[in-house]
Amino acid sequence: MSSSSAPAKTVLEPRILSRSEHGISRNDISDNALKVLYRLHNAGFNAYLVGGCVRDLLLGLKPKDFDVVTNAEPEQVKELFRNCRLVGRRFRLAHVMFGREVIEVATFRGHHQSDQDLGKQSDHGQILRDNVFGDIFEDAERRDFTVNAMYYNIADFSISDFANGIGAIEQRKISLIGDPETRYREDPVRMLRAVRFAAKLNMQIDDAAAAPIKTLAPLLTNIPPARLFEEVLKLFLSGNALQIFRLLRQYHLVEPLFPILAPLLNDSNSREISFIEQVMQNTDERINNEQRVTPAFIYAALLWYPLEDRCQNLMVEGGFSQFDAFNLAMGDVLDRQTKRIMIPKRFTTVMREIWQLQNRLPRRFGRRAFQLLDHPRFRAAYDFLLVRAEIEGGELEILADWWTQFQSASPEQRKTMLDKLRDTEKAPTRRKRRYKPKKAPK
Ligand code: ATP
Ligand code: MG
């Protein structure tokens, strides 16, 4: 499609590195990606690997996935592959399925006018629809960072580097293609991507790309909450969550993502920060050891202190019992958070369980200890308690140690532990409700 009427176009000239001038070998590329590239090529289309996989291969990292671009349109791609689905509204793409591996095949994107139906922009300059096809030059210009605009050509195994991505890799710089402010306005999620790549690739966001972030961070509130859930998940499950959390704070990106958490992070020595950093560090360790991580745990941690605050507030100002205040506060905190980030119900359910178990873990008398051990969320709740204990010490530490011992104790030892509890602590009587619930304060 022609792009002669497109706004402010600067054609990027690629530097071509021939097969002998770069270190990417076909052995490093997934067989399925190669199959897709060859079939497109043999059908007479141009076919390239692009983006993160080329960047990662040049850095000696293992790519997470292999993305293909071509001049074939999605319908033409579909005709070539039986195992192909067309997906996406914002970007129409072909997915070629090989069991668990999906090779994403995109058609070169082009420029578009803001009033065209195929491409659409919001009042903030955000791109809402992006289905104008173009050539490789336009496609390169529309990519986010210079390290992400390198194309590996299956026709001759050369690399086309459109924005000096090779130079950026050498200097370890995350640089935006084009004018940073315009590019962030087009898609505010690029601010999160900058932070993610800086952490993942161990690079610096260059001054030009870093400067506008603090000012433009609020634009993230225009991103649909479901997309933000996906993007934020990539941040926290990247294996670099601790560093990313620090960068999010540094660039004022916490506020638009977690508005009820941000006010609690002003003091850099606070327990709130220590707690979240500890959780992020544990998450990174688990990811790097290929252990399972649930987003519910991470979100439960991010919102734990806002939950405690809200609960206190409802007790002190609303006159609610601890039990009622806690339940109301869980609802409030989740309502406010999911307006920004759409946490799916299957995770909010688990978050509530982890939180509620924090109140139940101190109450171990009689059969309760065994019921708690059998609770499907016991392990997560116990891990959560461990981090709280590490940060706050005191009674929580004693409680956490008790549970650590109890889990590995023999039946006799467990009985002794429970007997001892009965001796040293008075069994709690059922708490009577002293106050009638009033309306929650605003
Ligand atoms: P990784 O897969 O390691 O997270 P990636 O760079 O491959 O990193 P993807 O989200 O898989 O990231 O996107 C693939 C490529 O598509 C990117 O390298 C970039 O060229 C382009 N791209 C993705 N998202 C955007 C965006 N929001 N704006 C512009 N280009 C983008
Ligand atoms: Mg990728």
For 215-274, write each residue's pLDDT tens digit.
Answer: 999 999 999 999 999 999 999 999 999 999 999 999 999 999 999 999 999 998 899 999
Q: Is residue 191 situated within a structural domain?
A: no
b/e sequence 16-51, b meaning 16+ C-beta within 10 Å:
ebeeeebebeeeebbebbeebbebbbeeebbbbbbb
Q: Is residue 72 situated within a structural domain?
A: yes
Give the chain's domain count: 2
* Position in ligand 1 atom list of the atom nearest CA 147: 18
Distance 242 CA to ligand 1 centre (A): 22
Q: Is residue 254 situated within a structural domain?
A: no
pLDDT for the residue numbered 13? 87
Looking at per-residue pLDDT, the higher value among 197 and 89 belongs to 197
295-302 and 225-236 helices cross at what angle (nearest 10)?
100
- What is the pLDDT averaged over residues 283-291? 96
pLDDT at 60 exceeding the cut of 90? yes
User: What are the catalytic residues?
Assistant: 65, 67, 144
Looking at per-residue pLDDT, the higher value among 433 and 110 belongs to 110
Pocket of ligand 1 (CB under 6 A): 51-52, 64-65, 67, 143-144, 148, 187, 189-190
Question: Residue whose CA is closest, atom 21 of ligand 1?
Answer: 143
DSSP structural state of residue 11:
P
26 shares its domain with 168: yes
Range of the domain at 85: 15-172
**Which of 172, 201, 218 marks a domain boundary?**
172
Residue 115 binned pLDDT confidence (cut-offs 50, 70, 90): very low
Mean pLDDT of the chain: 92
Give residues whose Cβ lies within 5 Å of ion ligand 2.
Answer: 52, 65
Ligand 1 pocket: which of 55, 61, 67, 240 to mutate (most atoms <8 Å of CB)?
67
Q: Is residue 149 situated within a structural domain?
A: yes
pLDDT for the residue numbered 242? 98
pLDDT for the residue numbered 344? 98
pLDDT at 441 exceeding the cut of 50? yes
Question: Residue whose CA is closest, atom 30 of ligand 1?
Answer: 143
- Tell me the HSE value of 429 on the side-chain side, using a 13 A CA sphere: 2
For 184-230, write each residue's pLDDT tens digit.
Answer: 999 999 999 999 999 999 999 999 999 999 999 999 999 999 999 99
pLDDT at 437 exceeding the cut of 70? no
Backbone φ and ψ of 52, nearest 5°: -55, -35
Strand ranges inside 192-295, DSSP E: 204-205
DSSP structural state of residue 218:
G
Q: Is residue 381 situated within a structural domain?
A: yes
